[in-house]
A and B are shown apart, each in its own frame.
Chain A
Amino acid sequence: MSDDSSDVKPGPKGPEQPAVEQSPENVPAPTGEVHQVGARHGMFGVRGSGDTSGYGGLDQAIVLPGDAQRPYGGWFDEVADGLAAATRDAGLEIAAPRVVIHRGEITFHLRREDLVPVAQILRDDDRLRFEFCSGVSGVHYPDETGRELHAVYHLLSMTHNRRIRLEVAVPDADPHIPSIVSVYPTSDWHERETYDMFGIVFDGHPALTRILMPDDWPGHPQRKDYPLGGIPVEYKGGTVPPPDQRRSYN
């Protein structure tokens, strides 16, 4: 490497060098809000022992990918512009969604009151045409205070061959999200499943009942505070605890 660089001689006046803070590569990347959803303590899942390795004292924040800045690149901008223009045309008061782009997938984080009008526009507008809803998936982030329960919608535009994701977060204390069954009838069972598993109440759903668990089941099994269950297994004198009580890495 040093051999190569020694061959490159600066010109008579030296290269044009803008001030350090003006050169584009030195401008710090614009940072959006940091979305911490929890913290990781320790390393090997050991608690309360005299850990002298130092790993037990590690504290790491769990941070999800941050907000994307314009331009998003590719068709992401077309969708974002189309959505903004279509909401303007429809005269709707909708907060600009927070956009996350990670690994080539785009996510629009919406307020819950905006979900149904946005879904309607996404489905019907010529520029967007997301005519296929792949369903609703719930995620429980118990440590993200005030936004514990997330509902994630995957939409597909067969016309333009594009996929986007909508995400709505609500507090555990008020787990209500408007139902999009009126826009995408396919989300009927998906919303029932998300209600069953997470306790998110989809207001306006035609018949929001449990679907996989029995009707009289207490609790919502996919929440992080719901135990996995299981019994210890004995084999040849040894006892193996159930999976959620085994020592685990974190």
Chain B
Amino acid sequence: MADQDLYSGSSDTSEGRVFTVTGQDWDSISEGLAEDEAQERIVVNMGPQHPSTHGVLRLILELEGETVTEARAGIGYLHTGIEKNMEYRTWTQGVTFCTRMDYLSPFFNEMTYVLGIERLLDIEDRVPEKAQVMRVLLMELNRISSHLVAIATGGMELGALTVMTIGFRERELVLDLFELITGLRMNHAFIRPGGVAQDMPPGALDEIRGFVALMKKRLPEYADLCNANPIFRGRLEGIGHLDLAGCLALGLSGPVLRSTGYPWDLRKTEPYCGYETYDFDVQTWDSSDSYGRFRVRLNEMWESLRIIEQAADRLAGLDGAPVMIDDKKIGWPSQLAIGSDGMGNSLDHIRHIMGESMEALIHHFKLVTEGFRVPPGQAYVPVESPRGELGAHVVSDGGTRPFRAHFRDPSFTNLQATSVMAEGGMVADVIVAIASIDPVMGGVDR
């Protein structure tokens, strides 16, 4: 009794015998289960703190032996009330909140919210070309970093640690680019209504070209490691099967939908930010399983590289072009600059508003403290995030703050497929199926 673990053990309840598992106590559990021959059916609560549940996801699994008979997902452990908070900030400040939802694809969160605002303001056609190109560039870089994490953590959860280490190695390169361009590795709040926060820094295009060249060498490593690896294929093929009808009924989009062979990609079907002018292909697979989703993600990174190259070429010809709408009532007035005391408003701008133009000072003051008003109405402009259709339902009452901003997050919707993907399979395959959905709990719970 001396070495009895205080936090594990068993107790009898009206539901049967309940074991609390803390690790390294499987002997007591198997003994305890063996005592009761009738207890073939076990309900396992897995998570919300568990290294293989892809974040704070709680799974409630009903097992018969090693077969999952019922699987339910419990969510809400990362609910932070971002949508509510946004109702108490100006339209521009809202970007700072929604970028934190799905923390692996911050630019997409910002983009769909900003596109909704721009539609309500009726300025969709007036956003400068350079801002649109920079948005596309950042989103595609973000797609690569997000897919890298999807593949890396998915690999880690099935024991392929090399996939994890090389995935995060390459993601770090993308985050370095983000840091160079936006100043931050995550939570950028860079895409703003009317454009982007600031211009490309000097030398960024060379860095991007260098990154593309490096990725073209490194991406084949993933294919070499995984594509024909018999263990990898054995763990992924046929796991988490969901066909096209199932995807549409459950509202799944993104790589899961494309792994059924249906080439649905909002960048092609409902282009935004000028995606119709870029040359790229929609990647599909025909196996409707976890392996197909892996291959779709891998191939999409190649397509993203193609788009990044085209965007970089366009940016080279847009040196010095504006990145914020030429509307003094909407466009954020200042660019940021590095000063002796860190990053802040550029000195040129301070000189302009404090010494040269009373109107500029008024506009700066009004836009920064009050913000702009958005005409009443509602808009929904979805974008193709790395996980599928991400859309912000933006409602305005004509005020300076969102009346309501609701995000249709693909992780939230796609996670509903947990049950149908996992039931009837083995316990170990639940992990693979969920990893193939690639849910990000920050986006699920918001």
Q: List 22 A-B contacts (CB under 8 A).
A: A62-B376, A104-B119, A105-B380, A132-B251, A134-B251, A135-B408, A137-B393, A137-B404, A138-B406, A139-B395, A154-B380, A156-B389, A165-B380, A185-B416, A186-B416, A212-B445, A221-B81, A222-B83, A222-B404, A228-B81, A248-B88, A249-B371
Q: In the bound complex, do residue A134 and residue B391 qualify as a contact, i.e. CB atoms below 8 Å apart?
A: yes
> What's the A-B contact tally at a CB cutoff of 8 Å?
123
Complex formed: what's the CA distance from A188 to B76 in Å?
A: 15
Q: Which residue in chain A gives the minimum CB-CB distance to B416?
A: A189
Q: Which residue in chain B gives the minimum CB-CB distance to A161?
A: B269
The residues of A that contact B251 with a CB separation of less than 8 Å are: 132-135, 184-187
For the complex, is A7 an interface residue (Cβ under 8 Å from B)?
A: no
The residues of A that contact B415 with a CB separation of less than 8 Å are: 189
Interface residues on A, range: 35 or more
Which 10 pairs of residues, A with B, have the shortest CB-CB distance? A186-B251, A137-B406, A212-B76, A212-B79, A243-B88, A137-B393, A249-B370, A102-B377, A135-B408, A62-B397
A210 CB to closest chain B CB (Å) equals 8
Complex formed: what's the CA distance from A63 to B270 in Å?
A: 29
Q: In the bound complex, do residue A243 and residue B85 qualify as a contact, i.e. CB atoms below 8 Å apart?
A: yes
Complex formed: what's the CA distance from A167 to B380 in Å?
A: 13
* Given A135-B413, A222-B83, A243-B89, CB of A154 within 8 Å of CB of B408: yes
The residues of B that contact A96 with a CB separation of less than 8 Å are: none
The residues of B that contact A163 with a CB separation of less than 8 Å are: 270, 380
Q: In the bound complex, do residue A248 and residue B401 qualify as a contact, i.e. CB atoms below 8 Å apart?
A: yes
The residues of B that contact A154 with a CB separation of less than 8 Å are: 380, 391, 393, 408
Complex formed: what's the CA distance from A124 to B58 in Å?
A: 35
For the complex, is A64 an interface residue (Cβ under 8 Å from B)?
A: yes
The residues of B that contact A184 with a CB separation of less than 8 Å are: 249, 251
For the complex, is B412 an interface residue (Cβ under 8 Å from A)?
A: yes
Q: Which of A171-191 contact B (CB under 8 A)?
A: 184-190
The residues of B that contact A114 with a CB separation of less than 8 Å are: none
* Given A64-B376, A186-B250, A211-B76, CB of A134 within 8 Å of CB of B408: yes
B410 CB to closest chain A CB (Å) equals 10
For the complex, is B425 an interface residue (Cβ under 8 Å from A)?
A: no
The residues of B that contact A210 with a CB separation of less than 8 Å are: 76
Q: Which of B390-440 contact A (CB under 8 A)?
A: 391, 393, 395, 397-401, 403-404, 406, 408, 412-413, 415-416
The residues of B that contact A63 with a CB separation of less than 8 Å are: 376
7 A-B pairs besides A134-B389, A137-B404, A152-B378 with CB distance below 8 A are: A37-B397, A103-B377, A135-B413, A139-B395, A163-B380, A184-B251, A243-B89
Partner of A64, one of B84, B269, B377, B380: B377
The residues of B that contact A103 with a CB separation of less than 8 Å are: 119-120, 122, 377, 379
Complex formed: what's the CA distance from A221 to B83 in Å?
A: 10
Q: Which of B57-95 contact A (CB under 8 A)?
A: 75-76, 79, 81, 83-85, 87-89
Q: Which of A59-80 contact B (CB under 8 A)?
A: 60, 62-65
Q: In the bound complex, do residue B88 and residue A244 qualify as a contact, i.e. CB atoms below 8 Å apart?
A: yes
Q: Which residue in chain A gives the minimum CB-CB distance to B405?
A: A137
Partner of B408, one of A137, A139, A243: A137
Q: Which residue in chain B gives the minimum CB-CB distance to A132?
A: B248
Q: Which of B80-120 contact A (CB under 8 A)?
A: 81, 83-85, 87-89, 119-120
The residues of A that contact B85 with a CB separation of less than 8 Å are: 228, 243
For the complex, is B194 an interface residue (Cβ under 8 Å from A)?
A: no
The residues of B that contact A228 with a CB separation of less than 8 Å are: 81, 84-85, 87-88
The residues of B that contact A212 with a CB separation of less than 8 Å are: 75-76, 79, 445-446
The residues of A that contact B88 with a CB separation of less than 8 Å are: 228, 243-244, 248
Complex formed: what's the CA distance from A187 to B382 in Å?
A: 17
The residues of A that contact B253 with a CB separation of less than 8 Å are: 132
